[in-house]
């Protein structure tokens, strides 16, 4: 099994963090991973994306040109990477930030109001965790338990409330695809 993914959005939406946690969880589960970020000089507010590969076998290249999974947190990301997604791939879309749908019938779209759900949870900082929940809920790429452990480790010296909100966001994403 090899899954190639691109996560993309405005700087500050957490697209790179989606890739980071999925790659870390994959590594914890004994898989081969690569994580290759790309962002403009302004970081927050500019466009940022990350290429992630999670595989049972060795990874020949970290470059992802035709992802199996695309996470588009904003319209420019959907417009740029949507046409490059492999046939029968999955495109996960933050419908709150992507008013124009992509005209493709050879991929599966998962539209979710991620910004609205993050607001309901209480902070836009968890928008990316909703996307992670959608990914693992749909693909079982890594387990929820591995992600939970990685998140708890990462947030050990941070706000307990933010940890709780992040875990709730992942669970909400998983529930959206059931």
The highest-level CATH class for domain 2-176 is alpha beta
pTM: 0.94
Q: Where are the alpha helices (DSSP H) in the chain?
A: 15-28, 75-81, 114-121, 127-139, 144-154, 160-176
Is residue 25 within 8 Å of 150, Cβ to Cβ?
yes
Residues 6 or more apart whose CB falls under 8 angstroms from that of 65 comprise 84
The pLDDT tens digits of the residues spanning 48-73 come to 999 999 999 999 999 999 999 999 99
Instruction: Provide the residue ranges of all domains of the chain, joining segments of one domain with +.
Output: 2-176
Which pLDDT tens digit goes with each residue over 74-125?
A: 999 999 999 999 999 999 999 999 999 999 999 999 999 999 999 999 999 9
C-alpha pair distances (Å), 135 with each of 13, 111, 174: 16, 12, 8
């Amino acid at each position: 099994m090899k899954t190639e993914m691109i996560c993309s959005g405005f700087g500050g939406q957490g697209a790179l963090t989606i890739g980071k946690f999925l790659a870390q969880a994959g590594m914890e589960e004994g898989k081969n991973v690569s994580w290759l970020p790309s962002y403009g000089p302004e970081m927050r507010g500019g466009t940022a994306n990350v290429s992630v590969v999670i595989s049972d076998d060795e990874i020949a290249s970290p470059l992802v040109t035709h992802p199996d999974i695309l996470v588009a947190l904003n319209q420019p990301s959907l417009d740029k990477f949507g046409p490059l997604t492999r046939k029968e791939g999955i495109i996960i879309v933050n419908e709150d930030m992507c008013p124009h749908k992509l005209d493709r019938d050879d991929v599966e779209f998962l539209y979710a109001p991620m910004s609205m759900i993050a607001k309901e949870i209480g902070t836009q900082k968890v928008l990316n965790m909703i996307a992670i929940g959608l990914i693992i809920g749909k693909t079982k790429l890594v387990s929820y338990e591995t992600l939970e452990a990685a998140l708890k480790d990462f947030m050990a010296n941070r706000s307990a409330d933010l940890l709780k909100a992040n875990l709730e966001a992942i669970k909400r994403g998983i529930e959206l695809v059931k």
